[in-house]
Structure 1
């Protein structure tokens, strides 16, 4: 417990000691006066002293309340960092989710960002063959929403690259996997339990770092990955360099990524399902210590003692004091 005005505590001690000393002196003088007159009090010790004791007890409590006591209480809240990663490969321009996979994902993601409390920092990452952080995590959700709206489809898909760049953004360290044939390296990325990556993708991997190894690295760093599958199993077609290419949702890859990190995979076969998926994204619930002022409880306790003392004094002595 802390106090906003700690000097008042010294005043409380001095005033309380003075009040108790004064009461003791008055009671001695009263007893002496009665004895000199050949009289004795008919009241028992409890009735004689209890009302005054209650009044005296209320005094330090009231003064402590004036010192503005505060205590820190752990308050649960959704907080931390959320990094939204968008697959911007050519396949995301398919229209099996209207108006297109990417456009539907953007709409749902913007709605998700607008619903987040200011305690959640939101960042945006776009990935094709390479991954690029287009908006660093920020509490200014308008900036994140604007970055989401700017992404355009092009190129292939590297889910592994997206995870590694996302980890680098969250941990503040460059993150990579060993080249083929090299011995695995242990990277000390720290532990980031309040960080979440949300990947919007159709899951069609075209190359890049190993997805499974990247997901395991994220799991070791405590970063949970939620995946949202954008597309349908029936798929659709996209035109790339004058060629019509078929594309379909790869749920197996997206499910595996989520499961490795303790996250969940949510399919989104249409715009409505995509909106539902973003609403169901499970962010981390953390606790933060907040100062709670205790002046009111102290004042209530002092008022209760004063009231009891006054009532007993009136009933037993015919007066409040």
Structure 2
């Protein structure tokens, strides 16, 4: 778990207050020592001259507070970033059963999780997450909390939606609605991770027209192969009562009404249609994470990473030693 992050201005304000209180205490203790003990007596108990003790203590206190402020200001950068870019992006994640197909290793769902989580660390501005299958859900409103976005991207699964099928129209509509409530004038985009299949809901043409009218750019990441694969009935699958009965009957893959295994295939045409209409880009997920980053995260800052834990530890150790030393040098009269 990361450090509790205190904004740097607040940390510096607290530090200034601590130093100010120490100055006040030093002035009062100096007057008390002058009444209670002779300076030569104090020198017998500490190696430093009595006149230098207050200055050294103040310097140690300032050093300790500064180290704490630096550690606080640098810790936890993987969790949250400032929204300086004026961009808003929705990660639209496919939670349909077809994403369980193993035509890409280890399966489509895991490839989607890894790509979406990594992309989240590279995108600027605020990010939201929407899952879709037969219907769509907003999992996260627009936020700068990168850790939360990564967690949601890595946790996508069909059973979380609860309704089978695949409706790109429902997902796009939900994502567009979410962006509509964002900042006016921000650069808005949607990144769709999907195999492109539509088996439920209306066509997505109306949603594409709305996105184009609102100036929303849609990018798409195609996951799967045109050869396709069968859909295993794992615990992550979203099953209606009929499908559940078939699984209890011993079926290991999803079957169609005719009793034959369903084969799901990557439909690149639908994904290209939405990107072409809105000025976005289409890439295939099996081209690798580096290609996805280059295509969809272009123009962003370097990947967000946590501050070096060793550097933070050194700063905190310096703070401890400085503050302990400040207290150890308490003059005795």
Task: Normalising by structure 2, report the TM-score.
Answer: 0.53
Whole-Å Cα distance in 1 between the matches of residues 271 and 200 of structure 2? 15
Give the Cα–Cα distance (whole angstroms) in 2 for the partners of residues 131 and 98 of structure 1: 26
Q: In the aligned structure 1, how far is the partner of 2:100 from the partner of 2:144? A: 30
Of 273, 291, 294, 1:280 maps to 294
State the alpha-carbon separation in 2 of the partners of residues 221 and 191 from structure 1.
11
Matches within 5 A, 1:92-171: 92-117=99-124, 120-154=125-159, 155-171=164-180
* Residues 227/285 of structure 1: CA separation in 2 closer, same or farther (3 Å cut): same
Question: Any conservation in 2 of the 1:81–1:137 contact (CA below 8 Å)?
Answer: yes
Shift of 1:78: 5.0
Q: How many residue pairs end up in the alignment? A: 189
Aligned CA RMSD, in angstroms, stands at: 2.3
Aligned to 1:297: none
Q: How does 1:47-62 map to 2 (within 5 A)?
A: none
Match of 1:255 among 254, 272, 276: 272
Q: Aligned partners of 2:265, 2:202: CA distance in 1, in Å?
A: 21
Residue 95 of structure 1 aligns to a residue in which SS? Answer: coil
2:94 equivalent among 69, 79, 87: 87
Please state whether the residue corresponding to 1:280 is helix, strand or coil: helix
1:266 to 2:283 alignment:
yes
Deviations 1:199-241 (A, max 9, x none): 0000010121321121111010000000110001111111353
Q: Is the 8 A contact 1:110 1:145 kept in 2?
A: yes
Contact 1:170 1:195 in 2 (8 A): yes
TM-score by length of 1: 0.55
The structure 2 residue matched to 1:233, chosen from 226, 239, 242, is 226
Distance in 2, matches of 1:231 and 1:192, equals 35
Query: Could you say which structure has the higher strand fraction?
Result: 1
Shift of 1:102: 1.2
Aligned-residue offset at 1:115:
2.5
1:98: Cα distance to partner?
Answer: 1.0
3-state DSSP of counterpart to 1:133: strand
Deviant stretches of 4+, over 3 Å: 190-193, 281-286
Q: Distance in 1 between matches of 2:270 and 2:179?
A: 23
Higher CA-based Rg: 1
Unpaired stretches in structure 1, ≥5 consecutive residues: 1-76, 174-189, 287-321
